[in-house]
Structure 1
Amino acid sequence: MRFLPHLTVATIVEDQGRFLMVEERQDGRAVLNQPAGHLEADESLIQAAHRETLEETGWTVEITGLIGLYLFTARNGTTYQRTCFAARPLDHDPHRELDDGIIAAHWMTLAQLQDTPIELRSHLVLDCIRDYLEKPHYPLDLIR
């Protein structure tokens, strides 16, 4: 059997200690995640991060660095490779229709995320934010 991981991107958008989060539906329940999604054909990882952030939040961002690469195996056995980026917000279109399944975008502090009654999509949500806060950000030219 071939191993076929799903390639995904996630974007940590931070502004004055608050993080741009997506409340979305997963298996019929609300969960929180970074703006994130799958890489599409003929798209770079950075292009995917821009697109997913805009589609899920209405925010245009500047991708500023690479946070890390993560492997995650979901309960159903599907493995995801997540490339996580850092970004700064540039412009918001409050009238933009968000992707299907997106409930809302929220700006939240780390403390709010740690205490939220809404379930996090996976442990990667906090792992990526902690790495963003505590570890080096790598230059984008690392990606070819």
Structure 2
Amino acid sequence: MPKLHKTCSHCAGLLEDYLNPVPTVDILIHIPGQGIVLIERRNPPPGWALPGGFIDHGESAEQAAVREAREETGLDVELTGLLGVYSDPRRDPRQHTITTVYTAQAVNPEQMKAGDDAGKIGIFPVDDLPSDLAFDHGRILQDYLRIFQPLNKPVP
């Protein structure tokens, strides 16, 4: 397991610090009759992305998903399901992250506005998604469509 070595600020002894993946969440918000909510990232890496972010200390993944949706989209959401967990070490070029992806519905779609890390926000029909998706969000959206579209299930 990769380790970092650093010096203790109290005793000057050598400390080992393990490089573990960082937990994140992404939220796939579908607006019925319109499409999927995506944000255009304000910060690197560039591209359109699902709303999401890092889980804070003391916060559950579900709480983080609701918080990140509100911060980045202005939407209050109800989580409707768990799409999957994505852990490819290359999924985020900044560091190794593991994301838990939730599906959600917006309680207040009329309140949608870009916020926090979002430069722009949009609702994209499932058959007209942008090609410049950040991270592994193209794969996540393919999985979502593969699971819900062929079965004619209502899209959560």
For Structure 1 versus Structure 2, the TM-score category normalised by the shorter chain is: 0.7 to 0.9
| DSSP 3-state at the match of 1:26 | coil
Please say which structure displays the higher CA radius of gyration. 2
Contact kept, 8 Å, 1:57 with 1:104, in 2: the verdict is no
Written as runs of structure 1 = structure 2, the 5 A alignment for 1:1-144 is 1=3, 2-15=18-31, 16=33, 18-27=35-44, 30-72=46-88, 73=90, 74-76=92-94, 78-92=95-109, 94=111, 98-99=115-116, 101-114=117-130, 116=131, 119-122=132-135, 124-135=136-147
Distance 1:95 1:67 in 2: 22
Distance 1:37 1:55 in 2: 10
Equivalent position amino acid for 1:128 in 2: I
Aligned residues: 129
Contact kept, 8 Å, 2:34 with 2:123, in 1: the verdict is no
| DSSP 3-state at the match of 1:129 | helix
Question: Structure 1 or 2: larger strand share?
Answer: 1
Q: 1:13 to 1:95 in 2, by over 3 A?
A: closer
| DSSP 3-state at the match of 1:8 | strand
Distance 2:68 2:143 in 1: 20
Runs of 4+ in 1 over 3 A off after TM superposition: 92-97
Q: 1:80 to 1:107 in 2, by over 3 A?
A: same
Distance 1:40 1:87 in 2: 20
| DSSP 3-state at the match of 1:4 | coil
| TM norm structure 2 | 0.73
Alpha-carbon deviation of 1:71?
A: 1.1
Q: 1:4 to 1:93 in 2, by over 3 A?
A: farther
Could you say what the CA RMSD is over the residues aligned between the two structures, in angstroms? 2.2
Alpha-carbon deviation of 1:75?
A: 3.6
Distance 2:98 2:46 in 1: 23
| DSSP 3-state at the match of 2:87 | strand
Question: Structure 1 or 2: larger helix share?
Answer: 1
Gaps of 5+ in 2: 4-17, 149-156
Aligned to 2:14: none
Q: Percent identity?
A: 26
Distance 1:96 1:57 in 2: 5
